[in-house]
Amino acid sequence: MSLSATTAPPSPAPPPHPTAPRRRRGSLLNRLDLKYSPYLYIAPFFLIFGIFGLYPMLRTAWMSLHDWDMIGDHSFIGIDNYTRLFGDEYFWNALVNTFGIFLLSTIPQLLLALFLANLLNRTFLRAKTFFRMSIFIPNVVSVAAVAIVFGMLYQRDFGLFNWLLSFFGVDAIDWNGERWSSWTALATMVNWRWTGYNTLILLAGMQAIPKDLYEAAAIDGASQWRQFWQITLPMLKPTFIFVVILSTIGGMQLFTEPLLFANGNILGGDQRQFQTLAMYMYEMGIVNLNTAGYGAAVAWAIFMIIVLVSLINFVLVRRTAK
Amino acid sequence: MTSASQRLWRTSPLTYLALVLAALLSIYPFYYMVVIGTRSLEAINDVPPPFTPGSAFSDNFGRVLDNDAANFLTGLMNSVIVSSVVTVSVVLTGSLAGFAFAKLRFRGRNALLLMIVVTMMIPTQMGLIPLWGMMQSLGWYDSLAAVTVPFLVSAFGVFMMRQYASQAISDELIEAGRVDGASTFRIYWNIVLPALRPAAAVLGLLTFMEQWNSFLWPYAILTPENPTLQVSLSFLSYAYYTDYSQVFAATAIGTLPLVIVFIVFGRQIIGGIMEGAVKS
């Protein structure tokens, strides 16, 4: 992640004062060093971030209020781009696709991660490091490589998945031809790459739970299963919220997998059957340079959706996992 | 039974079965990459699909190198350059700012730190379109500067270093340096930076991996003439999607560096990710 914040470096303010214990070096150079060094040290971050992170983000907001041609003119049109979004069937299509893939990937992935983390949390487990490393290794592979490999596993005529399915009498599926099948294929890629990562985060959360809680429960005769429900899950709530929000941010921005699965077609299949919001933003803002203003509105819409979904998740998880 | 094997089976065999299965599923696609990348193109259409590596790798990779649609070698070089420069810069600027936030006092410190934390929550795609326009005006389209400069600093890096510095470095140590007459920068260079080494290593590894694998922005701003590795792979897969052995040979080579890094430093990487999770 690398974007945004507010305001440029602060104007040099008077030093906080005789904070550090007094020492005898009173030269001008030393005073200047004490006073301004901190600002000098944080300046590189705020400078580069301000120019390449914060400014573009604010400019996205500004552009979204215009009919903006990246290589031509622009004119102010207020919130027209946003009202247009509501009636844009391609936008809704992308929204539905993004959510479909998001649900198909996040829910099984988090359940599986919870299950694996619970297994890895066993006290007497052998080869802990080996298991941790091997389930995490998919996250090391680039998204592009994942999409290329799975693209072939899902190939219609000689892909491994169709070959396996043929034993169950299933006819060869054209995975990227249909909506549900392409969603499934894309969700598999996301699940494969992220389950191990989420497992480790949940495992870290589990290990932070005080051991004496379990010991007390064991003395009271609570089974392992019961301990999981009554101790692990409730105590894991903050970690779970963190994981859900991270998945939301990632899921709403899904781009590379569907793009490569469509062989570079930004429409996401000839019927747009798996075009995601991020792909639609790219289509409107970068492929079609003359609709950059509208693309910027899509970008803000994605941001709003992320905030909204995160909030809903936050409230839900807080409520249910009591 | 030895006591070791008794301890082993205090964890149910089913647990091991599930974990071994998960490990196999995680590793299989890598293996598959190697299988297809080392097979001749004809073997791929076999039923059942091939399950063992072949001996056609050099032939396959030779086709990658001769292929001027993707400029694979340029991409590989570019990725090495960009990832290394960004990694060094993120670690240096992150430790410098993290040190300032953790150990120096200045007005506005808390507000600025809060800003950095908020920044970490904002999705990267938000500024994509205007940034693309900026690069055009700067004349950086299709140049390495476009994929390097915006990423030279990282909010996550500053935050991580700040967290580590505040617990790993005692105020007395800094004071001792001051009493000896060291300037603030000297204290950073001689005392703080060495003490931050473990965290800096993890940050460096994570940054390198992130940059090596980065796709959307390089894809938007670079062309197949001057790609990064991932961009090159994508164009290779578009143009030669029927020549899987070529594409897979390239993908395997492009993935190899990170797999090696992970095998050597996996423990630290995993430790860093898990520690970060508990703290946030």
Domains defined along chain B, listed by start: 3-57 (no CATH), 68-239 (1.10.3720.10)
Beta bridge partners of residue A66, listed in sequence order: A76
If 0-12 CB within 10 Å is exposed, 13-18 middle and 19+ buried, where does residue B41 land? middle
Identify the H or E element spanning A105: helix A89-120
The residue-averaged pLDDT of B81-89 equals 98
Task: Give the model's pLDDT for residue A218.
Answer: 86
Q: Do B150 and A1 touch (CB under 8 A)?
A: no
- Chain B residues near residue A37 by CB distance under 8 angstroms: 100, 104, 184-185
pLDDT in tens, B165-223: 999 999 999 999 988 888 999 999 999 999 999 999 999 999 999 999 999 999 999 99
* Residue of B99, B126, B256 best to disrupt the A interface, most CBs of A under 10 A: B126
From the list B93, B136, B155, the residue facing A2 with the nearest CB is B155
* Residue of A19, A35, A152 best to disrupt the B interface, most CBs of B under 10 A: A152
Q: How close does chain B come to A280, measured CA to CA in Å?
A: 12
* A44-53, B62-71, B155-164: segment of lowest average pLDDT: B62-71
Calculate the average pLDDT of chain B.
90
Identify the H or E element spanning A103: helix A89-120
Minimal Cα distance from A144: which residue of B? B230
Task: Give the model's pLDDT for residue A30.
Answer: 84
Q: Among all chains, which residue has been given the structure tokens 């003359």?
A: A290
**Residue A127: partners with Cβ closer than 8 Å, 6 or more residues away:** none
Could you give the C-alpha distances from B209 to A278, B118, B119, in angstroms and in order?
A: 22, 23, 21
What is the model's pTM? 0.89
Q: Do B133 and A142 touch (CB under 8 A)?
A: no
Domains and CATH numbers, chain A: 1-63 (no CATH), 84-320 (1.10.3720.10)
pLDDT band for position B43 (cuts 50, 70, 90): confident
Q: Residue B8: pLDDT above 60? A: no
Q: Do A38 and B105 touch (CB under 8 A)?
A: yes
Task: Give the model's pLDDT for residue A9.
Answer: 42
Task: Give the model's pLDDT for residue B114.
Answer: 94
For chain B, report the end-to-end CA distance as a whole number of angstroms.
44
ipTM of predicted complex: 0.90
Identify the H or E element spanning B248: helix B244-279
**Residue-level pLDDT, tens digit, chain A, 322 residues:** 333 333 344 444 444 444 444 445 568 888 888 888 999 999 999 999 999 999 999 999 999 999 999 988 999 999 999 999 999 999 999 999 999 999 999 999 999 999 999 999 987 888 888 999 999 999 999 999 999 999 989 988 888 899 889 899 888 899 988 899 999 999 999 999 999 999 999 999 999 999 888 888 888 888 888 888 889 999 998 898 889 988 999 999 999 999 999 999 999 999 999 999 999 999 999 999 999 999 999 999 999 999 999 888 888 877 775 5
From chain B residues 200-219, the ones with a CB under 8 A of any chain A CB are 209, 212-213, 215-216
pLDDT in tens, B218-265: 999 999 999 999 999 999 998 876 788 999 999 999 999 999 999 999
C-alpha A304/C-alpha A308 separation (Å) is 6
Could you give the C-alpha distances from B19 to A136, A195, A296, B26, in angstroms and in order?
A: 12, 13, 45, 10
- Chain A residues near residue B277 by CB distance under 8 angstroms: 200-201, 204-205, 239, 242
